[in-house]
Structure 1
């Protein structure tokens, strides 16, 4: 099957793989998790949020795979790009990631090895190490972001008004 795609540029193949992976058959939550029902709407909402978060993360993971990126690495690179050209210390990066983890130094190590992030000594405090995204890292991040956008991972089947409402409800849910 891959032989059909050998003449395509890597970015085209990545987009095709991502789009293919992200095609999902829509079904109700009860069908997806094979249950008869829930004790309350509150319980259903909680399970629905957890199930949807898992589904989105799985789809994002599959979409980022051709770029040799994990969602956590993507998140760190996105944070560094947001501060570019400024540098950030590990503690500041860790405070901004979506999933809190003590794994941030290892994630950064992998990104440094790939030459997507660089380390330097802070000009303010020589004891502190700071990170910044490299030009190569920016290019990979841009390609991966484009693939995620084109796959419509987060907005499948929702209008702009529905997405606005969803965002408002999720903000309210988190308090």
Structure 2
């Protein structure tokens, strides 16, 4: 039984994930944006202008958050997103990213990219593929 090695590996994954999130969070804080807000902006950019509901945003988030509505409200206050009633279902709200949101996201992506740049040479292409494969295998995919 490899349970000790298993838990040691899981611990490394968790610690590394939190470390990356914390570091990225510090970079985003300079712009007054939280990591979940950044995640929502990236999801909206991926929609290429097509509206999406709060529920759909929640399903796509890296860290599932129960307060997506509050995250969207904060982005609305900053004029980075738009919210309007869905024409086919008045109980749903359609969310889109604004031009200002796209401009801000470009700056944020550059900042986050700078953080990741310093580590990109640490693993070879083959090692990166192996790491991704092993993580998927661990998850049973």
Fold equivalence (TM over 0.5): yes
- Of 65, 75, 81 in structure 2, the residue corresponding to residue 111 of structure 1 is 75
Deviation of the 1:172 alpha carbon: 1.6
- SS in structure 1 at match of 2:95: strand
Cα-to-partner distance string for 1:17-45 (whole Å, 9 max, x where unaligned): xxxxxxxxxxxxxxxxxxxxxx7211110
For residues 117-171 of structure 1, give each alpha carbon's deviation from its aligned partner in whole angstroms, at most 9, with x where no partner exists: 1101112223321100001101111111111112226636222222222212122
CA positional deviation for 1:72: 0.4
Aligned to 2:124: 159
Cα RMSD, aligned residues only? 1.6
Aligned equivalents of 1:77, 1:174: Cα separation in 2 = 27
Q: Which residue of 2 aligns with 1:94?
A: 58
Gaps of 5+ in 2: none
Pair 1:82-2:60 in alignment:
no
Asked if 1 retains the 8 angstrom alpha-carbon contact of 2:53 and 2:92, the reply is yes
What is the count of residue pairs matched by the alignment? 137
1:69 corresponds in structure 2 to 33
Q: 1:105, CA displacement in angstroms?
A: 0.5
Q: Give the deviation of 1:115 after TM superposition.
A: 0.3
The 5 Å alignment of 1:1-175 reads: 40-152=4-116, 155=120, 157-175=122-140
Deviation larger for 81-90 or 158-167: 158-167
SS of residue paired to 1:155: coil
Tell me how far apart the structure 1 counterparts of residues 57 and 79 of structure 2 sit (CA, whole Å). Answer: 18
The DSSP-based 3-state class of the residue aligned with 1:131 is strand
Q: Separation in 2 of the partners of 1:61 and 1:171?
A: 25
Bigger-Rg structure (1/2) = 1
- Stretches of structure 1 that go unaligned for 5 or more consecutive residues are 1-38
